Amino acid sequence: MTGNPQVAMWFFWVIFLPGTFLHELSHWLTANLLGVRTVKFSLWPEIKKGGQLQMGAVQVEVGDPFRHSLIGVAPLLFGSLAVLLIGQGQLNLTAIGQAVVSGNLEAIWQAIIQTMVLPDVWVWLYLVFAISNAMLPSASDREAWRTVLLYLGLALVLAIGLGLNPSLPPDFQRLVLTGFAYLLSAFTITIAVDLIFMVFIFIFEILLGWLLGRQVQYNR
């Protein structure tokens, strides 16, 4: 829209700065908790080869695949926790979810109205938008996942081949299911907030395109 890649880069960097900060901070905290030394912490944007925008970076020393994979998945866990805390603690989105489950349109509308009149609602919605769109692990974050999954798969095949019947303790099963339920709630909140912002972004693009005589093009 601006016709200037540098302007576009700084625009996106400013918009998603809270999410970028949490993303990189989660890498840094997890690495230090796991005893992996960090050698760089940066929130400075950079356009990489191929036109890919890097919003920030944390460089760590090469460690074993298991710790590396935990460091890589940290932004998703920290981001989901932040989205849940804001969505349920500040935006009353639990009430909206319950109204949607009930299928009562009047209850849904009332829950939305009650949410939109909350203090600083747009600040909290913006934070959810910025955090949720920056919490997914990048390609470099996922590098060690393949190795870890391969080891886990081989261990499972070996256990089955030896006639073992690996089963998870009931408490651990409940913990895993609870974790997935929280992740699902975080993703649901993310989708709901993204839909709200998509409407505003669409209107903004139409108005700005009309004023500047340009059209937004999204490259794959």
Would you say how long the chain is, in residues? 220
CA distances to 69, 116, 148, 177, 180 from 173, in Å? 22, 37, 20, 6, 11
| 22-70 pLDDT per residue, tens | 999 999 999 999 998 888 898 888 887 766 788 888 888 877 888 888 8
- pLDDT for 218: 55
CB under 8 Å, gap of 24 or more: what pairs does 192-201 form?
A: 192/93, 192/96, 193/87, 193/125, 193/128, 193/129, 193/132, 194/129, 194/132, 194/133, 196/125, 197/125, 197/129
Cα-Cα-Cα-Cα dihedral of 51, 55, 60, 64, to 10°?
Answer: -70
- Single pTM value for the model: 0.77
Domain map (residue ranges) of the chain: 5-212
pLDDT (mean) for 183-194: 76
| 202-218 pLDDT per residue, tens | 887 788 777 766 665 55
Closest CA to 135 of 10, 43, 21: 21
Query: Is the pLDDT at 117 greater than 80, yes or no?
Result: yes
User: Could you tell me if 143 and 64 are in contact, meaning their C-beta atoms sit under 8 angstroms apart?
Assistant: no
- pLDDT for 79: 92
